[in-house]
């Protein structure tokens, strides 16, 4: 490479680093890469601890990469949040392939972004091919080093944990949930004798500040409340437990735990009761889907801390997509605007519909006078240009979707 070209490359590097180091550009980069990774590995976004560790790791890696990018000698040191991410993935019982896939997805995103930026370089500044080679070489070396160190940390963490019965049990459960095990007798033996062939109901129990002992105690209280004959509990991550309860019982009796849960940050998400090995998996999938809805919904101290899949099934099925969002925008119209007035109208309509169109019960829920509810409903009908009664189910579905997926937009 000529001296002139080296000077040109150095000039481009200085401009690139100056622009990319700006807080707004860093935020855009982090959001872009985080979204790319969680799109490929959605389970990371569903776990608060993993999601937080991933987001922090993406940011710290990018800033560290930029700092090293223009240095004469390549030097890699795994950022602290990268170490945390590897440990959290191992602690969650996920396979090492998840660690590798995170960095491979990030690598593709880095290369796509770098190529896009470099294609804008003027020939008067430096050669695009020289910039591409330099960028790809540094990015590839950084990603490979991150994979090597992260997988070593992952394996070291798993080695420390693998001797514990708790981790072995979680591994056996994950094997069942991924469909890699099919012999019920063998599965039951690996699950400590838990009878996977019977009727069962799955739960996801969560409390951001709850340790394993607290969650185990809550799972036991849940089993006692419904009169379950047998229970299985595993811990996929800090502050969360998966549970299954065997028996034919009324799962709605779990509502008796609301008084206990009201003074804590803990919640219970309940899957549909199902039978057999397929039921073990399906009920768990329902409970996880319910938990995702609970995590999205704004915290309301008036609402139950026990949520059943049957009550949120439609919202779980109608996850965000351009088609669903068009439906919501069409039905809500101006009500979809995110300002204080529209928020009060949406809240009032939701309470009105939740209570079977009973104005008095809606007023009680909202702690306002019944005439206030009537006034707001009138305002809403003016905005919608159609009586609420004529919209019916469409309005209720659109409101629920908006509250869950777009209220923070």
User: What does the DSSP assignment read for 9-49?
Assistant: HHHHHHHHHHHHTSHHHHHHHHHHHHHHHHHHSTHHHHSHH
Number of structural domains the chain divides into:
3
Q: Are residues 117 and 62 in the same domain?
A: yes
Q: Is the pLDDT of residue 316 over 80?
A: no
- Give residue 383's domain range: 318-405
pTM for the full predicted model: 0.57
Q: Are residues 323 and 253 in the same domain?
A: no
Check residues 226 and 4 and name the one with the higher pLDDT: 226
Under the banding of pLDDT at 50, 70 and 90, the label for residue 4 is very low
Under the banding of pLDDT at 50, 70 and 90, the label for residue 138 is confident
Chosen domain end from 161, 194, 228: 161
Q: Are residues 207 and 75 in the same domain?
A: no
Chosen domain end from 297, 316, 335: 316
Closest CA to 279 of 248, 252, 304: 248
Q: What are the CA-CA distances from residue 323 to residues 8, 320, 326, 347, 376 (Å)?
A: 47, 8, 5, 24, 29
Q: Are residues 309 and 324 in the same domain?
A: no
Query: In this structure, what CATH number is given to the domain that contains residue 367?
Result: 1.10.10.2840
Query: In this structure, what CATH number is given to the domain that contains residue 102?
Result: 1.10.490
Q: Are residues 136 and 282 in the same domain?
A: no
Query: In this structure, what CATH number is given to the domain that contains residue 174?
Result: 3.30.70.120
Q: Is the pLDDT of residue 314 over 80?
A: no
Give tens-digit pLDDT for 10-59: 888 888 888 888 899 999 989 999 999 999 998 888 787 888 999 999 99
What pLDDT score was predicted for residue 391?
A: 67
- Asked if 258 and 305 touch (Cβ cutoff 8 Å), the reply is yes
């Amino acid at each position: 490479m000529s001296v002139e070209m080296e000077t040109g490359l150095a000039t481009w590097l200085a401009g690139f680093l100056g622009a990319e180091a700006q807080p707004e550009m860093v935020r855009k980069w982090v959001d872009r890469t985080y979204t790319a990774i969680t799109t490929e590995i959605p389970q990371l976004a569903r776990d608060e601890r993993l999601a937080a560790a991933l987001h922090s790791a993406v940011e710290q890696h990018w800033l560290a990469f930029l700092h090293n990018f223009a240095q004469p000698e390549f030097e890699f040191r795994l950022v602290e949040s990268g170490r945390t991410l590897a440990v959290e993935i191992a602690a969650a019982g996920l396979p090492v392939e998840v660690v590798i896939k995170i960095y491979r997805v990030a690598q593709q995103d880095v290369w796509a972004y770098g190529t896009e930026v470099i294609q804008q370089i003027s020939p008067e500044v430096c050669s695009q091919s020289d910039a591409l080679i330099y960028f790809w070489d540094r990015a590839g070396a950084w990603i490979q080093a991150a994979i090597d160190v992260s997988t070593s940390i992952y394996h070291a963490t798993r080695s420390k944990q693998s001797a514990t019965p708790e981790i072995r049990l979680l591994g056996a459960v994950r094997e069942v949930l991924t469909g890699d095990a099919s012999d019920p007798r063998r599965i039951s033996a690996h699950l400590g004798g838990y009878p996977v062939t019977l009727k069962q109901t799955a739960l996801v129990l969560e409390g951001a500040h709850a340790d394993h002992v607290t969650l185990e105690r809550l799972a036991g209280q849940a089993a006692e409340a419904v009169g379950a004959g047998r229970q299985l509990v595993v811990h996929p991550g800090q502050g969360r437990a998966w549970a299954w309860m065997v028996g034919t019982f009324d799962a709605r009796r779990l509502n008796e735990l609301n008084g206990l849960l009201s003074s804590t940050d803990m919640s219970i998400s309940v899957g549909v009761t199902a039978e057999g090995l397929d039921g073990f998996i399906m009920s768990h999938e329902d409970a996880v889907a319910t938990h995702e809805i609970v995590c999205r919904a704004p915290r309301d101290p008036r609402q139950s801390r026990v949520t059943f899949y049957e009550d949120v099934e439609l919202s779980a099925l109608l996850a965000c997509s351009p088609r669903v969002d068009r439906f919501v925008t069409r039905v809500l119209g101006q009500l979809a605007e995110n300002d204080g007035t529209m928020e009060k109208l949406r809240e009032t309509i939701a309470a009105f519909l939740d209570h079977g169109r009973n104005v008095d019960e809606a007023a009680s829920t909202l702690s306002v006078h019944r005439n206030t509810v009537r006034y707001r409903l009138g305002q809403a009908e003016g905005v919608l240009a159609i009586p609420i009664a004529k919209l019916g189910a469409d309005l209720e579905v659109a409101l629920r979707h908006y509250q869950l997926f777009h209220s923070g937009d």
